[in-house]
């Protein structure tokens, strides 16, 4: 098991709990959270992750996609 900083899990939970408020400014964007503050946001996951790592000096920063709920995800399996 990876030894992750407890703040990581607190920030992840904070982001999930505040999803509705985050929708106002970060609709359909990736957000990186550090100490319950958005430190990076954007449409490109890798850019958000790299910016968050650069700004915080941490290798692990929780990143969430703030989905507006309009997306449909699925998987089809073809059987012949």
35-60 tens-digit pLDDT: 999 999 999 999 999 999 999 999 99
Q: Distance between CA atoms of 19 and 28, rounded to whole angstroms?
A: 11
Residue 75: per-residue pLDDT:
61
The pLDDT mean for the chain works out to 88
Paired with 37 in beta bridges are: 34
pLDDT at 65 over 50: yes
pLDDT reported for residue 68: 84
What burial letters (b/e) apply to 35-52, b meaning 16+ CB within 10 Å? eeebbbbeeeeeebbebb
pLDDT at 1 over 50: no
Mean pLDDT on 7-18: 94
């Amino acid at each position: 098991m990876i030894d992750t900083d407890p703040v990581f899990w607190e920030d992840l939970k904070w982001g999930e709990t505040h999803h509705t408020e985050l929708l106002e400014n970060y609709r359909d964007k990736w957000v990186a959270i550090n100490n319950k503050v958005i430190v990076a946001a954007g449409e490109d996951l890798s850019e958000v992750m790299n910016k968050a790592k650069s700004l915080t000096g941490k290798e692990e920063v929780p990143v969430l996609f703030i989905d507006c709920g309009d997306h449909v995800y699925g998987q089809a399996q073809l059987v012949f």
